[in-house]
């Protein structure tokens, strides 16, 4: 039985209640510790009658913890009950101690999470983490070393809450930290002067130390080092906790490295995004052209049907040409040249419906129209078709098969309002404010959002505005998903 266990279990209050209760059954009792010192006597127990009393040893966890003395007869039963009570009390204390430890551990990781969430720069995170670990483990110092990927030397980055800004390069072949770096295994040294790899250095005398590798998978990228335990020595429990922390720090370091690489390659990434956006935008009319060409291959088509489909194919082909012009203007930041005409809205919508239906047919999405305003409006029909195509393409990509897409035209004050609604799940709220920025997506498996950025520019060039919202804005039953509302001035 450890000294710590005896101190926890065998105080007067631990045995007083059970001894008082048992004394009514057996007569006066006294509980003694293993050294024979009296812990608690019940009323009426006299030392002068000790030669008449029996003694019964108390065993808890297979070790003697004391004995009970009292009148002969029922003392054996009393001793069994005392053993059971002390064992139960000890188990409860162990459980309470374990629960408290886990709570403190969770509280510690919560604070660690706050550090990771509060600071942006890696050096700030490392310095704050070093300070927190130092306090939690109860060490005099805590430092973090990182391997430089180019020189393969390691640099002291943070010491007990302070950022180390100078290049304090340390030898990769000497010291306990170097051994940890090479082996990728934690090292505890509570007698450093006797350790063959210990190197004395610095102003602070090292009396104990622990080095834990910072690893991600099989790659060691640094060490977390603790020195001079304030109370006692470094233990396996300390090592286990610090290993958990080191895994989180390793993730932070790796993420920082990846971020630096992304920044270096930013220009190439933008070019790639632009190319992906162009391909995404071209996919709509190309799909329509492909579908119409399949229809034209049908020998049963009448001359009039073949002529109508050819005209729509030509319209889609012209739209591709205008897309190239728009992309060129958008990338240069110049104004898109409009070809404004008086256009009958009812006729315009009737003309574009087959194009949208063909595009939607690949996912079996039905197209519905509500043309409440059937008058004229000044707009560029080619580019406004681009607006419709970009919005309908986003709706198509965000819906599962069998959905519906609505095109609604109506007046609202001195404006004509075009409402494009779908039956999907709506626009994610986290991108609502940036939806019309270049390269913003709507959680689709493909596409970059370049089309919506150009769509907004076309609408603005028409003197109009565009907004996106969720819900049943159209008022048409069943359309509760995403809504794109384009408002153009009358006259």
Per-residue pLDDT at 449 exceeds 60: no
| pLDDT at residue 450, as a whole number | 65
Give domain 268-489's CATH number out of 1.20.1090.10, 3.30.565.10, 3.40.640.10, 3.40.50.150: 3.30.565.10
pLDDT score recorded for residue 5: 43
| Average confidence (pLDDT) over 240-258 | 78
- pLDDT category at 371 given cuts 50, 70, 90 is very high
Express each pLDDT in 336-365 by its tens digit.
567 888 999 999 999 888 888 888 887 889
Q: What is the CATH number of domain 120-255?
A: 3.30.450.40
Model's pTM, two decimal places? Answer: 0.41
Q: Average of pLDDT values for 469-482?
A: 94
pLDDT score of 453 more than 60: yes
Taking a C-beta distance cutoff of 8 angstroms, is the pair 359, 255 a contact?
no
- Is it the case that residue 319 has pLDDT exceeding 70? no
Q: Is the pLDDT of residue 490 over 60?
A: yes
Task: Give the whole-number percent of the chain exceeding pLDDT 70.
Answer: 70
Predicted local confidence at residue 196, as pLDDT: 73
Q: Worst-scoring range by mean pLDDT, 125-134, 181-190, 254-263? A: 254-263
pLDDT of 8 > 50? The answer is: no
Among the residue ranges 33-42, 132-141, 204-213, 307-316, the one predicted with the least confidence is 307-316
Range with top average pLDDT, 31-35, 126-130, 441-445? 31-35
Fold match, 120-255 / 268-489: no
| Cβ atoms < 10 Å from Cβ of 313 | 21
Q: Where are the domains of the chain?
A: 3-101, 120-255, 268-489
């Amino acid at each position: 039985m450890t000294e710590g266990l005896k101190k926890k279990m065998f105080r007067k209050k631990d045995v007083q209640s059970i001894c008082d209760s048992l004394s009514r059954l057996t007569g006066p009792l006294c509980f003694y510790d293993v050294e024979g010192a009296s812990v608690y006597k019940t009323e009426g127990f006299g030392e002068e009658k000790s030669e008449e009393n029996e003694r019964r040893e108390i065993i808890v966890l297979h070790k003697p913890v004391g004995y009970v003395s009292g009148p002969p007869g029922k003392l054996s039963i009393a001793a069994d009950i005392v053993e059971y009570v002390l064992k139960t009390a000890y188990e409860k204390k162990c459980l309470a101690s374990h629960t408290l430890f886990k709570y403190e551990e969770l509280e510690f990781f919560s604070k660690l999470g706050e550090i990771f969430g509060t600071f942006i720069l890696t050096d700030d995170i490392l310095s704050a983490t070093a300070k927190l670990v130092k306090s939690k483990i109860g060490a005099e110092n805590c430092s973090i070393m990182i391997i430089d990927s180019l020189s393969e030397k390691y640099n002291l980055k943070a010491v007990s809450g302070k950022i180390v800004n100078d290049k304090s390069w340390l030898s990769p072949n000497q010291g306990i930290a170097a051994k940890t770096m090479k082996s990728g295994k934690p090292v505890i040294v509570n007698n450093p002067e006797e350790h063959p790899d210990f190197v004395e250095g610095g102003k602070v005398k090292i009396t104990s130390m622990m080095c834990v590798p910072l690893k991600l998978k099989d790659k060691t990228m640094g060490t977390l080092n603790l020195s001079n335990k304030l109370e006692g020595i470094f233990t396996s429990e300390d090592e286990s906790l610090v290993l958990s922390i080191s895994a989180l720090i390793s993730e932070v370091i790796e993420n920082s490295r990846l971020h630096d690489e992304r920044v270096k390659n930013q220009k190439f990434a933008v070019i790639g995004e632009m190319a992906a956006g162009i391909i995404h935008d071209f996919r709509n009319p190309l799909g329509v052209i492909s579908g119409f060409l399949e229809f034209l291959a049908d020998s049963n088509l009448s001359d009039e049907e073949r002529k109508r489909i050819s005209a729509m194919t030509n319209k889609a082909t012209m739209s591709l040409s205008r897309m190239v012009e728009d992309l060129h203007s958008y990338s240069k930041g110049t104004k898109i040249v409009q070809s404004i005409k008086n256009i009958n809205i009812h006729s315009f919508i009737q003309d574009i419906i087959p194009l949208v239906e063909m595009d939607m047919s690949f996912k079996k999405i039905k197209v519905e129209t509500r043309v409440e305003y059937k008058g004229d409006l000044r707009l560029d029909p080619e580019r406004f078709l681009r607006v419709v195509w970009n919005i309908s393409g986003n709706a198509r990509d965000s819906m599962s098969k069998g959905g519906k897409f609505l095109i609604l035209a109506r007046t609202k004050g001195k404006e004509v309002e075009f409402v494009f609604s779908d039956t999907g799940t709506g626009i994610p709220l986290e991108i609502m404010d940036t939806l019309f920025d270049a390269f913003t997506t709507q959680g689709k498996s493909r596409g970059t959002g370049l089309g919506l950025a150009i769509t907004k520019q076309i609408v603005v060039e028409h003197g109009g505005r565009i907004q996106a919202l969720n819900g049943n804005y159209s008022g048409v039953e069943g359309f509760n998903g995403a809504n794109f509302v384009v408002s153009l001035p009358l006259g």
